[in-house]
Structure 1
Amino acid sequence: MIDTAAFLADLDTLRKIGEYKTGVHRPTFSPQDMESRHWLAARMAEVGLEPTIDGIGNVFGRHTGPGPHVLAGSHIESQNYAGWLDGALGVISALALARAGLPVDVCAYCDEEWHFGAGFIGSRSLIGRLSEEEIDASVGTFTGQPLREALEQAGLAGKPRIVIDPARYKGAFEMHIEQGTQLENAGLRVGVVTGIVGIRNYVIEVEGKQDHTGGTTMAERKDALVGAMRILHAIDMEFPRVCGERSVWTAGKLVLDPNAPHIIPGHATINFSFRDIDNAVMDRMAAALERIVQEHNRRDRCPATLQLTARSEPALSDPAMLAALTSAAGELAPGAWQAMPSGAIHDSQHLARVMPVAMLFTPSIGGISHHWTEDTKREDLELGMRVLHEGVSRFLAA
């Protein structure tokens, strides 16, 4: 039987490390983050796992008994001044599976929250997809601190990095808060994740002419900001015609040069991305974006360039793992669950490169995440834990 009381108690204890209002502040490799990693390693030992904190910060608890094995976990660092469940739920639920006696290796994958470099350094390192050269080149997203320096300050420099053998595992499970409103709005308590969306990231550069706001007539102006606004307006007009049901797109960052109140912007940089679970849909959106920029350049006095800067592929849940979670949800949460894609990206997306994966969602109150008010009802946490335990048990027995 799964011990949901111990599961909740561990969550409550972990949230005290780096506590901030009702959330936590545990940026990667901060003193609070490292305290939480050592705390987790001690809990792993208590439930019979062999714990290791490796050279990139992964906290790995190895099951010492016979298989077949599964891998389970998530991350325990947080966004800045953020929520107490994002990531932590997946790690503590994995610990609960091990406490219940299942043949589970538990891992807290380091830096899912992108505090350093290209993010996901823990899960990518674990599957052998993080080079020493990338570590050398990586710096803090918010601090600019070199990753090597941060590893040394955290006491991790020189430690070996664990690389797993995918053949050890039937699959990898991850429980997570939804970070959206789909479950809550539908009055549901469990989400069985069908897959994790892919993402395509772009940089759009708009070239204008820097000039004086008073002395330059409107007819003479080449305002890069106005050009950027026209492109973004065209995207919002065209994308609904080509997107999928759950597609999303975001202009997350707009940088003007110079960014001054009495100077016409001479240059604008837009960081733009879109997400969907279907590559064919994203191909349509990519083609539409290229047409928009091409048409802009035909008409506008401020030319634009478009560059694809990063691309991650959708990761579909393994059918057998999905079936096990679905049958468990149907039995333990009848009429209170649904199948759904994940609009956020997770470590499981990287693990899917080498092994089958599946995820389970619990509702987020108000859909809030990446903020200290993030929360989930305790009864929903317990139900999700029971469904995960039953689903993993059925998958291992199949």
Structure 2
Amino acid sequence: MPGINGRFDGKRVLADLNALRAIGAYKTGVHKPTFSEPHLRSLGWLASRLPDADLVATIDGIGNVLGSSAKAGPKLLAGSHLESQNHAGWLDGPLGVVYALEAARVINGDPGINGAVEVAAWCDEEGHFGSFLGSRSYAGAVTEADIDAARDRSSGRTMREALRDAGFAGRPRLTAEAGRHIGYLEAHIEQGDTLEASRLKIGVVTSIVGIWQYRISFIGEQNHAGTTRMAVRKDAGLALARFCVAIDDSFPALCGPRTVWTTGRITLDPGAPSIIPGGAEMLFQIRDDNPEVIARLEAQLHRMADEATAQG
């Protein structure tokens, strides 16, 4: 889209970001779980501003906000999301939405440009109810049964209830129109330190990692912590801890340059200070953009599990 004559307004961008930051503000960040009151207010805020970019605003039946243009020519879809993780940063999501909004204001309002920017804010990208339900719905990959089954991971509230309470029940879910867009662009704040450590201001995504998640369970023998000798204990929690250390010892020789792994949750059963855990469970995750690397690491996990089982 060459020949842009309008001017991007940095102050306007910051004002928009700060307006969204004020909705659901929590300490230095925000708290906007999907379909919470702050999230819904944020959706309304965006819908009210899309006409300023010559876009028609629609909030569809799954909570996506779409700004569509009647302008002739090629169209680029851009955006991100407006809900947040619990007690999270204020730029994760809104940065991409506001950048898209500003680009639409400038490009759509220039009669000398053949084409337009359309804006999207996908619902539930942070996975409170499922896995990318809003964007997957737009791609035609979410069924009504998927929505029936979706539950809020924190409260157990059904997605149907949330959609009803938000006033979105019964609305059609919008899906991508074949050939309408020349591409999709999403700006995002860096969530690591690669750019900062390299003293770079911007980067371009070259690949998207896959995420493999595992639930690893350990079965020991629950017993009294004060009377059971150390030599005869079958402590499931200790077995789990050793497994975590073994992962960190063995994975570096098998991983790739971009591999990361995380033990995100550990639970002990019964979880009392005076009882030797009879059961333990860890939720473990591996991320990499190379399936061959993942296959090596998964095979190592299975070898380690077999060895742990054989040792009793």
When the two structures are superposed, what TM-score results if normalisation uses the length of structure 1? Answer: 0.73
Paired residue for 1:28, among 31, 34, 39? 34
Paired residue for 2:196, among 178, 184, 194? 184
Q: 1:160 corresponds to which residue?
A: 172
1:106 CA displacement = 0.7
| CA displacement 1:365-385 (0-9 Å, x = unmatched) | xxxxxxxxxxxxxxxxxxxxx
1:8 CA displacement = 2.1
Deviates more, 1:88-97 or 1:102-111: 102-111
Paired residue for 1:272, among 278, 284, 304? 284
SS at match of 1:290: helix
1:6 CA displacement = 2.1
1:48-87 matches, within 5 Å, as 48-87=54-93
Whole-angstrom CA distance in 1 between matches of 2:291 and 2:77 = 27
SS at match of 1:175: coil
Question: For residue 151 of structure 2, what is the amino acid of its counterpart?
Answer: V
SS at match of 2:206: strand
Q: 1:89 corresponds to which residue?
A: 95
SS at match of 1:71: strand
| CA displacement 1:219-263 (0-9 Å, x = unmatched) | 322111111112111111110000011211011011111111111
The 4+ residue runs of structure 1 with deviation greater than 4 A are none
| CA displacement 1:344-397 (0-9 Å, x = unmatched) | xxxxxxxxxxxxxxxxxxxxxxxxxxxxxxxxxxxxxxxxxxxxxxxxxxxxxx
Paired residue for 2:298, among 260, 265, 286? 286
1:26 CA displacement = 1.6
Report the CA distance shift for 1:185/1:224 in structure 2 as closer, same or farther (over 3 A).
same
Q: Is 1:146 the equivalent of 2:152?
A: no
Paired residue for 2:266, among 244, 254, 264? 254
Question: For residue 113 of structure 1, what is the amino acid of its counterpart?
Answer: E
Question: For residue 17 of structure 2, what is the amino acid of its counterpart?
Answer: L
Question: For residue 173 of structure 2, what is the amino acid of its counterpart?
Answer: R
Q: 1:46 corresponds to which residue?
A: 52
SS at match of 2:179: helix
1:1-398 matches, within 5 Å, as 1-102=7-108, 103-116=116-129, 118-298=130-310, 300-301=311-312
Whole-angstrom CA distance in 1 between matches of 2:183 and 2:96 = 15
Question: For residue 154 of structure 1, what is the amino acid of its counterpart?
Answer: A
Whole-angstrom CA distance in 2 between matches of 1:254 and 1:24 = 26
Whole-angstrom CA distance in 2 between matches of 1:41 and 1:208 = 55
Whole-angstrom CA distance in 1 between matches of 2:252 and 2:128 = 33
Question: For residue 262 of structure 1, what is the amino acid of its counterpart?
Answer: S
Whole-angstrom CA distance in 2 between matches of 1:83 and 1:235 = 30
Gap runs ≥5 in structure 1 = 302-398
When the two structures are superposed, what TM-score results if normalisation uses the length of structure 2? Answer: 0.92
Deviates more, 1:11-20 or 1:29-38: 11-20
Deviates more, 1:232-241 or 1:62-71: 62-71
- Identical columns (%): 51
Larger Rg: 2
Report the CA distance shift for 1:220/1:21 in structure 2 as closer, same or farther (over 3 A).
closer
| CA displacement 1:80-133 (0-9 Å, x = unmatched) | 2222111000001111111112512210000111211x2311111111111211
1:189 CA displacement = 0.9
1:67 CA displacement = 2.9
| CA displacement 1:314-373 (0-9 Å, x = unmatched) | xxxxxxxxxxxxxxxxxxxxxxxxxxxxxxxxxxxxxxxxxxxxxxxxxxxxxxxxxxxx
Whole-angstrom CA distance in 2 between matches of 1:46 and 1:281 = 47
1:291 CA displacement = 1.4
1:165 CA displacement = 2.1
1:148 CA displacement = 1.1
